[in-house]
Amino acid sequence: MPPKSKCVFLDRDGVLNEELGDYIQNLEDLIIPEGVPEALQLLKSAGFLLIVITNQAGIAKGLYGPELVYAIHEKMQEASGGMLDDLYFCPYHPSVSGRSLSRKPDSLLLEKAIAKYNIDPSQSWMVGDRARDMEAGKKVDLQTIHIVTGDETATGDYFSANLLEAAKIILASGTK
* Residues involved in catalysis: 11, 13
Residue 9 bridge partners (DSSP): 51, 126
Candidates 73, 54, 55, 175; CA nearest to 125 is 175
Q: Are 164 and 35 in contact (CB under 8 A)?
A: yes
Judged on CB neighbours under 10 Å (0-12, 13-18, 19+), 79 is middle
d(CA 68, CA 45): 29
